[in-house]
Amino acid sequence: MPRPTTAPIGVVLARTAKTAGRAFDQALAAAGGSQPVWQILISLKTTPVANQRELADAVGIQGATLTHHLNGMETAGLVTRRRDPANRRVHLVELTDDGEQLFHRLATAAIAHDQRMRRGLTDTEIAQLADLLHRLAANVTDD
Amino acid sequence: MPRPTTAPIGVVLARTAKTAGRAFDQALAAAGGSQPVWQILISLKTTPVANQRELADAVGIQGATLTHHLNGMETAGLVTRRRDPANRRVHLVELTDDGEQLFHRLATAAIAHDQRMRRGLTDTEIAQLADLLHRLAANVTDD
DNA sequence: TATTGTTATACTCTATAACTATA
DNA sequence: TATAGTTATAGAGTATAACAATA
């Protein structure tokens, strides 16, 4: 008596994330950004981080990878880096006016993208989905 | 009266997919594979494709990208390519014995990974999740 | 010595454009 | 001309290892 073969949830998740991620990429690109830049901006705006290591953790990348993105963002005039006088090993990352403006443009694009994705789903269903995704992620997080 | 700020579902989805995707990468790497190789193998085994273009579509990549992966897989002895006698423009892709074996190893790893992710979730919840993800993806698919 | 961050280097996945082979 | 696939090239994102600066 074969179990009803539910398609592997990992496959469904990966496929959906690929599709949604590409659409999100396009939305952000049209607004002059990208997913890593958006993640970094949103972390800077919403999460109090003491140093770049914590920022990298918040974004989910390595420190060297963060440096790579910050280099680009600094060249583009989105952020400044200066040493913390209290601990000169620490580099304080701060948004410029241009960085603030890009943040708002990307936020607008992200909100529009989210509303598009949510079409036809109730708030309850979205909450269910978020809960299920959280529980799934917890299962593959080693801690 | 501000709406209860549900976290953007796109953010939750992207974060979950990143976490789950990396765990899946590690599981496949430990079994000697990768996500693109696994997607190609599973498409070859389960989807009847007439040519490489259809295979690329099934995997969700461009034809040239598929060629890139098939080159590696052919070098690794996982697949063979030969021209279709009936239409010599078409290259028939076939799994070798080694390819079959890798498919089974990766399938085992994928199943274990799926079971790990599903811990604590009922079959009903998984089915709900799959349904919600499908509806989300449909909203960002242009067709 | 330990901590913070950068530099150097390289790998994987992906893509577009130009090309070859076949029809 | 149109179709199937490959080659050439490039770009984005990520990572590890070695290094410099600071404590």
The confidence score (pLDDT) of residue A9 equals: 86
CATH of the domain at A65: 1.10.10.10
- A16 found inside a domain: no
- CA atoms B124, A142, A126, A118: torsion sign: negative
Is B67 within 7 A of strand C by CB distance? no
Domain extent at residue A41: 32-112
pLDDT by residue (tens digit) across B60-104?
999 999 999 999 999 999 999 999 999 999 999 999 999 999 999
Torsion of CA A105, A110, A115, A121, to 10 degrees: -170
State the pairing for strand pair A79-84/A87-95.
antiparallel
pLDDT at B110 exceeding the cut of 70: yes
**Domain count along chain A:** 1
Q: Among A80-84, A125-129, B62-66, B139-143, name the one with the lowest average pLDDT.
A: B139-143
- A15 found inside a domain: no
- A17 found inside a domain: no
Q: Which of A126, A67, A72, A111 minimizes the C-alpha distance to B132?
A: A126
Name the residue among A8, A116, A123 with its Cβ closest to that of B140: A116
The confidence score (pLDDT) of residue B107 equals: 95
**Higher model confidence: residue B9 or residue A142?**
B9
Q: Which of A58, A18, A19 minimizes the C-alpha distance to A36?
A: A58
The tokens describing A113, both together, are: 């993208």
Beta bridge partners of B80: B94
Residues of B in contact with A123 (CB under 8 A): 6
- A135 found inside a domain: no
Residue of B nearest to A3 (CA): B123
**Which bases of strand D have any atom within 7 Å of the beta carbon of a protein residue?**
3-9, 12-18, 21-23
The confidence score (pLDDT) of residue A12 equals: 85
Residue of A nearest to B35 (CA): A14
pLDDT by residue (tens digit) across A8-55?
888 888 888 888 899 999 999 999 999 999 999 999 999 888 899 999
- B125 found inside a domain: no
pLDDT at A113 exceeding the cut of 60: yes
**Which bases of strand C have any atom within 7 Å of the beta carbon of a protein residue?**
3-9, 12-18, 21-23
- A91 found inside a domain: yes
The confidence score (pLDDT) of residue B62 equals: 97
CA distance B32 to chain A (A): 18
Is A35 within 7 A of strand C by CB distance? no
A68 CA: nearest nucleotide by C1': C6
Residue from A5, A25, A136, A141 whose CB has the most chain B CBs within 10 Å, to mutate = A136
